[in-house]
Amino acid sequence: MTEQIREKRQTASREADARPAKWMPPQLLPDPTPEEGYAFRWIRISMMNDDDPRNISAKLREGWEPVKLEEQPQMQLLADPASRYKDNIEIGGLLLCKTPIEFVQQRNKYYEQQSEAQTNAVDNNLMRQSDARMPIFKESKSSSSFGKGS
C-alpha cells in the first residue's frame, strides 16, 4: 500500500479559502506620503479645461508650494503626462502642493477669529434692536435636583 504524504496543518495556508476583500470605488485623488512638518493639499489650476491662474496664484502667495515628482515617486504613474507643470504632480486639473503645518495653524486661527468677530457683530446688532418688553433672547436657567434616598 502506498502511503500518502500529507501537509502538516500549521503549514497549510488558509489564504486560498479566504473571502475576497470588499470592493470599494477608487479614490479620485491619492494621498501623498506624509512628510514631517508639512501639510498637503490639492489646489485647482484649471476647471472645465479653462485655466484658473487667479486661484493658483493666490495659493502660491498664501505659502503653498508645488510638490516635486521626485519627492513623491509613487505618484509618477498617476501624474498627467501632458501637464504644464512637468516636474510636479498634476491630476485632473489639480496640483499637489505642500506648506509648513505652522502656516495652516496660523491660517485656521485667523479665520476662526474672523468668524468669531462676525458672529459677535451680528449678535450685538440684534441685541441693540431688542426691547425689554419683548426680548429676542430670554436667558433661562434651569437646575435639577435629586431627592434624598432612604
Residue pair 42/96 in contact by the 8 Å Cβ criterion? yes
| Overall average pLDDT of the 132-137 stretch | 68
| pLDDT tens column, 79-132 | 787 788 888 999 888 999 999 999 999 999 999 999 999 998 888 887 777 777
> Does residue 68 carry a pLDDT above 80?
yes
Question: What are the respective helix, strand and coil percentages of the chain, to the nearest 5?
Answer: 30, 15, 50
pLDDT category, 139, cuts 50, 70, 90? Answer: low
Q: What are phi and psi of 4, to 5 degrees?
A: -90, 135
The pTM (predicted TM-score) of the whole model is 0.64
> What pLDDT is stored for residue 13 in this prediction?
60
How far apart CA 134 and CA 150 sit, in angstroms, is 45
C-alpha cell at 30: 491619492
- Looking at per-residue confidence, does 2 or 30 come out higher? 30
> What pLDDT is stored for residue 125 in this prediction?
82
The winner for highest mean pLDDT among 11-25, 51-65, 67-81 is 51-65
> What pLDDT is stored for residue 7 in this prediction?
64
Q: In the chain, where are the structural domains located?
A: 36-100
Alpha helices in the chain (DSSP H): 53-62, 101-128
If DSSP codes are grouped into helix, strand and coil, which group holds residue 39? strand
| pLDDT tens column, 3-42 | 677 666 655 565 666 677 888 888 888 899 999 999 999 9
Cell 501639510 belongs to 39
What residues contact residue 134 under an 8 Å CB cut-off, 6+ apart? none
Of the CA atoms within 13 Å of residue 77, those in its CB half-sphere come to 1
